[in-house]
Chains A and B, each alone.
Chain A
Amino acid sequence: MVEAGVGIIFWILTFVIIVSALLVVTLKNIFHSALFLILCLFAVAGIFILLHAEFLAAAQVLIYVGAVSILIIFAIMLTSNMASKKIIQTNQNALVAFFACLMFLVVTLVLINKTGVWNYSTRNLPAENILTIGKLLMTDFMLPFEVVSVLMLAAMIGAIVLAREDKA
């Protein structure tokens, strides 16, 4: 049951993710990279839906597409002369990096394949995804939740302090 076919939707999403991720890291025009990043993250949200994590998928689209990528696009626009095609966008390590990443990938895939027996769970996920998440956040995960809130606040204040023009 667990290893049964992943279906055509998985392969479409995988194709989109991998192609757009490759374009994100290789394109010369960094604005196009950002747009492909959005496409890639959107497809990852689709993968989350396949894995029965609807709330996470919605949060992914909301936070990444709605906030993070807009921030990135803003930064690209504000530093616009850095996006021109005349500037080399990659450094000299490309070949070395390619082989390093290839090795990493091969090792990971071999490890995944070598792991003989996975402890597949027999239970299904709770049907009421959001309800369970909410309850867990308010009970077992209370402390991480609060810590993350404080972190967000700190990041917000930090960003404002960093980015403001010094009047004094």
Chain B
Amino acid sequence: MLYYLGLAAVLFSIGLFGVITRRNVIGILMSLELMFNAANINFVTFNKFILNDGLTGQLFAIFIVVVAAAEATVGLAIVLLLYRNWRGINTDNVSIMKW
């Protein structure tokens, strides 16, 4: 089980690195997906090895997947909007709060 947890930790760190370093909003979204997946691996691992009955961990992972899909939908719509307005989708372009 520790191997699975270690894998999840590594994946989460890589995702974190991506979120911090990417300038492109789409790149940040992709790194976020990596972090979600690390969390999912943890949930499913605990469900298999620790939980005494039921499938609560897997259900939680399913909810996370669904929420990730919703988040990607809205996020990418915002990306398109940004692109249309600024002709660029880098985070440092959009740091102004009003115009």
A–B in direct contact per CB < 8 Å = yes
Complex contacts, A155 vs chain B, CB 8 Å: 69-71, 73-74
How far apart are A101's CB and chain B's nearest CB, in angstroms? 4
Answer yes or no: A100 CB below 8 A from chain B CBs: yes
Given known pairs A21-B14, A93-B21, the reply for A33 and B27 (CB within 8 Å) is: yes
Using C-beta atoms within 8 Å of the partner chain, give the interface range for chain B. Answer: 35 or more
Q: How far is the CA of A90 from the CA of B24 in the complex (A)?
A: 8
Answer yes or no: A12 CB below 8 A from chain B CBs: no
Contact B31 A24 (CB under 8 A): yes
Q: Which of A25, A64, A144 contacts B63 (CB 8 A)?
A: A144
Contact A33 B81 (CB under 8 A): no
Q: How far is the CA of A47 from the CA of B3 in the complex (A)?
A: 11
Contact B66 A34 (CB under 8 A): no
Q: How far is the CA of A121 from the CA of B60 in the complex (A)?
A: 19
Within 8 A of A (CB), among B1-46: 1-7, 9-18, 20-24, 26-27, 29-31, 33-34, 37, 40-41, 44-45
Answer yes or no: B59 CB below 8 A from chain A CBs: yes
Contact A37 B76 (CB under 8 A): no
Closest residue of B by beta carbon distance from A97? B20
Contact A41 B58 (CB under 8 A): no
- Binary contact track A45-63/B, C-beta < 8 Å → 1, others 0: 0011001110110011001
Q: How far is the CA of A91 from the CA of B53 in the complex (A)?
A: 46
Contact B65 A53 (CB under 8 A): no
Given known pairs A52-B48, A133-B58, the reply for A118 and B88 (CB within 8 Å) is: no
Contact B33 A25 (CB under 8 A): no
B contact residues vs A (CB 8 Å cutoff): 1-7, 9-18, 20-24, 26-27, 29-31, 33-34, 37, 40-41, 44-45, 47-56, 58-59, 61-63, 65-74, 76-81, 83, 88-92
Q: Other than the known A68-B33, A108-B12, what 13 A-B pairs have Cβ atoms closer than 8 Å?
A: A33-B27, A37-B33, A47-B4, A51-B4, A55-B62, A74-B76, A75-B80, A82-B26, A118-B49, A133-B62, A136-B59, A148-B67, A155-B69
Provide a sorted-by-A list of 26 A–B residue pairs whose CB atoms are within 8 angstroms: A3-B2, A25-B17, A37-B34, A41-B33, A44-B40, A48-B41, A51-B4, A52-B48, A55-B62, A60-B65, A64-B33, A72-B26, A74-B76, A79-B83, A82-B83, A89-B22, A91-B22, A91-B23, A97-B21, A120-B1, A121-B50, A136-B59, A151-B66, A155-B69, A155-B74, A159-B77
